[in-house]
Amino acid sequence: MDNQEIIKQTRQVFEFQQKLYLEVSYFIKEIEGLLEKEEEEFVIARPGGYAITSNRSAGLEASNVELWPLRKMAVFFIPKENMQLKGGQTITPVSPKTRIIYLRIILDGKKLLEPVVYAGVLYNFKKKDKEFPEKVEQVMAHIEYHENQVFKDPKAILYKDGYLSFEGELFKQNLYDLDSSEEIYKKVVTPALRLFRKLSQNPS
């Protein structure tokens, strides 16, 4: 393969990657728009501004190089009345009463057949350490770092460590099956809302 072909393929890789990430951002914003219209007036959490949470690395070790591109990312949504906005960031209390709609997108993985979306509810947050976490927004990065333990059984999450514990119930959808606003609402938003409202009516 000559240099010109390599240059062409390199450009194509980054063009496709950028297009993919843009489509994912549109997908998240679509869900954000649909949820803010609900009676709870959900807002997207802003751990460090208007952004996703992911586990990334710039390290040169082979295991860290695998984390250079974004393969997995997450956001969560919370009723407007249950959070505070300060300096462009949201503050969601770590409390057994806190319930969030959680959305995690996985674009690639060793055992993954195709890109998927996990959506549902995380709840019953309890902290064991006085200093950390100060808010649920900090739990998001903690989840990414401990993903293998957190997502042993996405349908029945029971996670605890030396810092905190929480529960959750997530369902899975193939990302590329969600090709319209109607499909997103039917297959992601509606079942997530159903779970959220069920837990609100029957708190743990």
pLDDT in tens, 35-69: 999 999 999 999 988 999 998 888 999 888 888 88
The Cα 101–Cα 77 span in angstroms is 5
The Cα 92–Cα 86 span in angstroms is 11
Helices within the chain (DSSP H only): 3-36, 62-65, 136-145, 147-150, 181-184, 190-201
Please write the tens of the pLDDT for every residue from 81-112: 999 988 889 999 999 999 999 999 999 988 89
Overall number of domains in the chain: 1
pTM of the model: 0.93
Report the pLDDT value the prediction gives residue 20, as an integer from 0 to 100. 95
Q: Angle at the Cα of 14 (from 10 to 19), degrees rounded to 5?
A: 145
Pairing of strands 116-127, 99-106: antiparallel
Report the pLDDT value the prediction gives residue 1, as an integer from 0 to 100. 73
The amino acid at 142: H
List C-alpha distances in Å: 158 to 147, 151, 170, 191.
Answer: 12, 9, 12, 20
Q: Which residues pair with 121 in a beta bridge?
A: 101, 169
Which is it for the CA torsion 68, 72, 77, 83, positive or negative?
Answer: negative
Give the residue numbers spanning the domain of 37.
Answer: 3-201
Report which of 118, 107, 121 is spatially closest to residue 171, judged by C-alpha positions: 118
Asked if pLDDT for residue 156 goes beyond 90, the answer is yes
The Cα 65–Cα 56 span in angstroms is 9
Provide the 8-state DSSP code for 53: B
